[in-house]
Chain A
Amino acid sequence: NAGVTQTPKFQVLKTGQSMTLQCAQDMNHEYMSWYRQDPGMGLRLIHYSVGAGITDQGEVPNGYNVSRSTTEDFPLRLLSAAPSQTSVYFCASSSFPPRGGYTGELFFGEGSRLTVL
């Protein structure tokens, strides 16, 4: 019963490097999203997808790129890492695309802890 799987769990980058955080879910969920969690800031939505081939920006999209070629996978790319992107990143999915307000229960991965030096 895997649920939402994120890799890697920990990563250290140097400023300017690029990398991809992987997210996979085995629940056949249409909706997938990426959040970052910072002390005192809570969870902030970076990008989300309501189905394969459809993505949209969240609250803090700058510096990140996403694509959704399959229902299962939703990778998050950091194009040129900056110290401000040091954070814990969570991928989440639900069976309900947000329509009329209800997102359905969000299932979260265990997080990817990124440090940018």
Chain B
Amino acid sequence: QKEVEQDPGPLSVPEGAIVSLNCTYSNSAFQYFMWYRQYSRKGPELLMYTYSSGNKEDGRFTAQVDKSSKYISLFIRDSQPSDSATYLCAMSGGGGANSKLTFGKGITLSVRP
């Protein structure tokens, strides 16, 4: 079992839909949870960052972490065509110094006008 699993997609939704993107993980030492967004032919950029369990909201985006279930989610409200991109979850924590970021494989989202 890989440390981080992410639904492979792709996912296509109409404009205005609520989108739910999810990742599961197996390493209970993960404490830092991030979502990166990657537009086509660009590098990933940090979208949301959460430490430990709980919710974090930023505009139309909400990140949720449930450490008891080892499950994280990214919700996008009122999705827009400009949200069309690949979304990667990423996690780190534990393992002492030089702990590294572990990425999910990414899911490609397409928002149809």
A contact residues, range: 20 to 34
Give 1 or 0 for each of B73-106: 1 = CB within 8 Å of chain A CB: 0000000000000001000111111111101111
A102 to B97, CA, bound (A): 10
Whether A98 pairs with B42 at a CB distance below 8 angstroms is no
Interface size on B, residues (CB 8 A): 30
A74 to B49, CA, bound (A): 26
* With contact pairs A42-B106, A101-B32, A110-B42 given, residues A50 and B93 touching in the complex (Cβ less than 8 Å): no
Shortest C-beta distance, A105 to chain B (Å), equals 5
Looking at chain B's contact residues, the main secondary structure is loop
A108 to B43, CA, bound (A): 5
* With contact pairs A43-B88, A103-B32, A105-B49 given, residues A90 and B43 touching in the complex (Cβ less than 8 Å): yes
Shortest C-beta distance, B4 to chain A (Å), equals 8
Whether A45 pairs with B44 at a CB distance below 8 angstroms is no
B46 at the interface (CB under 8 A from A): yes
A26 at the interface (CB under 8 A from B): no
List the interface of chain A (C-beta within 8 A of B).
4, 40-45, 48, 50, 56, 58, 90, 92, 97-103, 105-111
